[in-house]
Structure 1
Amino acid sequence: MLIKLIVIALLLFIVINLFRAGLVMVRQPQPGVKMSRYLGRRVLFSAIALILIFIAQVLGLIEPNPRPY
């Protein structure tokens, strides 16, 4: 259950950073605020989420859905 909550939190961070990058892109350029910082964080959180899911699956903490047939 803890793994699922961590993955959900990471997905929320990914969406938040996506919106923050969009706001920086739409607004007037401000010194010191770079869109690439938020996009980089989004990519980092995505990689962490994927690695965490793979590790949890290998350790047996989560199981994939059974085959539908």
Structure 2
Amino acid sequence: MLIKLVIIALLLFIIFNLFRAGIIMLRTTNSEVSMSRYLGRRLVISIVLLLLIFLAIAFGLIQPNPTPF
């Protein structure tokens, strides 16, 4: 159950960083924080999330759907 909460929290953090990058992109003035900072964070957290999911499946903490139907 804890691993699922961590996965959901990381997914929400990824979406939050996506919206922050979008807000900075829509601003017309030069901002102090660049858009690539939030997009880079999003990329790193996505990679960490994929590794976490693969490790959780490998250790049996979560189980993938056995039938795709």
Cα RMSD of the aligned pairs, angstroms, is 1.3
**Taking structure 1 as reference, are residues 68 and 32 closer, same or farther at Cα in structure 2, changes over 3 Å only?**
closer
Moved more, 30-39 or 4-13: 30-39
- Secondary structure, aligned partner of 1:29: coil
The alignment of Structure 1 onto Structure 2 pairs a total of residues equal to 69
Aligned to 2:33: 33
Conservation of the 8 A alpha-carbon contact between 2:24 and 2:31: no
Q: How does 1:1-20 map to 2 (within 5 A)?
A: 1-20=1-20
Identity of aligned residues (%): 61
Alignment partners' CA distance in 1, 2:68 and 2:18: 34
Structure 2, gaps ≥5 residues long: none
**Structure 2 residue 23 is matched with structure 1 residue 23:** yes
1:68: how far off? 4.6
TM-score by length of 2: 0.92
1:28: how far off? 2.0
Alignment partners' CA distance in 1, 2:68 and 2:41: 36
**Structure 2 residue 52 is matched with structure 1 residue 52:** yes
